[in-house]
């Protein structure tokens, strides 16, 4: 059998001949929950990581009024036809059949990301409550973000960045229609950010949309031992070569920094090696170290070691790097754009295109680094990050599960 399931079928006892089980079941046992997604994704992807984190919460008993009875997914398919067959035909049928045979109207089907919204069953009498976690809607509703690049109060040029695939192929267009239709059939859309919730309310006015930011195990990020002061001022950029991540803007602001900063700084670029990263490492007057692939432990050490995170992204569904760095006590320079600006302390974000403002902020952090004798994690940022802790996530999701 090529489908991967975690199933406990010993749920309904033979009392149906004496009682109405649909009414009795909530009184004698926890509400059942089934998690569903498509092809298996690793913990190291954003969507895959969020799914595994939710699964871990269920396994740890963090939702005491529910019982996880099933995880529906399938192995990643290598061939295009296999992917389409599983995605559009086989897996949706399996999810619907499981809901009809094993879940009642008091139970929950939780689809863990919007890219699997086509799995939402058609409405029928007794259908379980269907929740869909929505990380972003970039690809269903792509748009362009235009940023005015200024320096010393004067506009230098206009930068237009495409957010989401502006010209999907025919197969993807059909796929997106199925996703949009699925979201419109859901009962609740659980959004990572207020920005995403507002988009959901606009696009799906008949579906309830709520905001529950993704949770973080904040204690895990706090340095457990003293970290020596770096011999150079070490900055960090985490992100792919996607234009919305704006790695080129990082090069632009660092290029505008004073020579004292350039000569005494290091830029770490974490993500897939790209031509953009390679070009920056060759042309920038700052030492650049490209980390093509890091495991969790290596990235954690780098995050705790660095003196500043640069995050000028034009758009994020959530934005893990800023909250992870703050949880580590590392200062963050973040563009005032959604939805990562929702994670930052009030009035701390920077105008996304103001080179002078970014340079001044880098200089200020550089000066603070120079004045210190040791590396001291920023306790205010660590405290702020706990607003987005796993405990807060569990508390809010428990309220939804207990409808």
- Model confidence pLDDT, tens digit, residues 270-325: 986 778 888 888 899 999 999 987 888 999 999 999 999 999 999 998 888 999 99
> Is 79 among the domain residues?
yes
Q: How far apart are CA 56 and CA 326, in angstroms?
A: 23
Percentage of the chain with pLDDT > 70? 91
- In the chain, how many domains are there? 2
- My answer on whether 222 and 365 are in the same domain is yes
The DSSP 8-state label assigned to residue 313 in this structure reads: -
CATH code of residue 188 = 3.40.50
- My answer on whether 182 and 111 are in the same domain is yes
- My answer on whether 188 and 226 are in the same domain is no
**pLDDT (0 to 100) of residue 7:** 41
> Is 157 among the domain residues?
no
- In tens, the pLDDT along 121-150 reads 999 999 999 999 999 999 999 999 999 999
Residue after which a domain boundary falls, among 177, 211, 245: 211
Helix (H/G/I), strand (E/B), else coil: 315: coil
CATH code of residue 318 = 3.40.50.2000
CA geometry: angle 44, 350, 296, nearest 5 deg: 15
- My answer on whether 326 and 382 are in the same domain is yes
Helix (H/G/I), strand (E/B), else coil: 359: helix
Q: How is residue 141 written in tokens?
A: 């509703």
Residue range of the domain that includes 93: 4-134+168-211
- In tens, the pLDDT along 85-105 reads 999 999 999 999 999 999 999
Q: How far apart are CA 184 and CA 203, in angstroms?
A: 9
Average pLDDT over residues 332-342: 96
- Residue 371: is its pLDDT beyond 60? yes
Q: How far apart are CA 312 and CA 344, in angstroms?
A: 13
| Closest by CA position to 96, among listed 119, 129, 126 | 119
Q: Which residue has the tokens 């890219």?
A: 115
Q: Tell me which of 16-25, 146-155, 190-199, 393-402 is least confident.
A: 16-25
- In tens, the pLDDT along 20-62 reads 444 444 434 689 999 999 877 766 567 778 898 999 999 999 9
Q: What is the crossing angle of helices 275-283 and 247-255, to 10°?
A: 10
Q: How far apart are CA 28 and CA 13, in angstroms?
A: 11
* Number of C-beta neighbours around residue 62 at 10 A: 18
Average pLDDT over residues 251-279: 91
- My answer on whether 182 and 309 are in the same domain is no
**pLDDT (0 to 100) of residue 273:** 72
Q: How is residue 266 written in tokens?
A: 């290091």
């Amino acid at each position: 059998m090529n489908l991967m399931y975690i199933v406990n079928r010993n749920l309904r006892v033979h009392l149906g001949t004496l009682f109405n089980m649909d009414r009795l079941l909530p009184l004698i046992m926890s509400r059942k929950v089934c998690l569903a997604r498509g092809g298996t994704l690793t913990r190291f992807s954003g969507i895959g990581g969020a799914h595994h984190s939710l699964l871990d919460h269920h396994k740890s008993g963090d939702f005491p009024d529910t019982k996880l009875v099933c995880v529906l997914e399938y192995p990643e398919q290598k061939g295009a036809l296999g992917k389409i067959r599983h995605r559009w035909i086989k897996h949706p049928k399996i999810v619907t059949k499981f809901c009809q045979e094993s879940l009642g109207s008091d139970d929950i089907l939780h689809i863990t990301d919007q890219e699997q919204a086509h799995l939402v069953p058609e409405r029928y009498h007794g259908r379980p409550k269907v929740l869909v976690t929505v990380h972003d809607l970039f690809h269903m509703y792509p748009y362009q973000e235009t940023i005015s690049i200024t320096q010393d109060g004067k506009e230098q040029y206009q930068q237009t960045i495409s957010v989401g695939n502006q010209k999907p192929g025919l197969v993807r267009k059909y796929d997106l229609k199925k996703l949009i239709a699925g979201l419109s059939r859901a009962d609740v859309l659980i959004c990572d950010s207020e920005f995403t919730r507002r988009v959901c309310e606009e696009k799906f006015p008949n579906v309830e949309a709520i905001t529950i930011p993704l949770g973080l195990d904040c204690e895990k990020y706090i340095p457990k031992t003293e970290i020596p002061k770096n011999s150079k001022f070490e900055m960090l950029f985490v992100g792919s070569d996607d234009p919305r991540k704006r790695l080129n803007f990082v090069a632009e602001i660092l290029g505008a920094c004073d020579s004292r900063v350039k000569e005494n700084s290091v830029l770490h670029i974490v993500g897939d090696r790209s031509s953009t990263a390679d070009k920056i490492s060759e042309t920038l007057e700052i030492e650049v170290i490209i980390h093509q692939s890091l495991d969790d432990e290596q990235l954690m050490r780098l995050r705790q070691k660095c003196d500043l995170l640069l995050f000028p992204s034009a758009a994020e569904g959530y934005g893990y790097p800023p909250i992870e760095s703050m949880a580590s006590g590392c200062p963050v320079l973040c563009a005032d754009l959604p939805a990562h600006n929702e994670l930052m302390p009030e009035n701390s974000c920077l105008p996304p295109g103001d080179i002078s403002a970014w340079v001044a902020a880098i200089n200020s952090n550089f000066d603070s680094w120079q004045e210190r004798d040791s590396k001291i994690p920023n306790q205010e940022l660590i405290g702020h990050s706990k607003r987005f802790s796993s405990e807060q996530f569990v508390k809010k999701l428990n309220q939804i599960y207990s409808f």
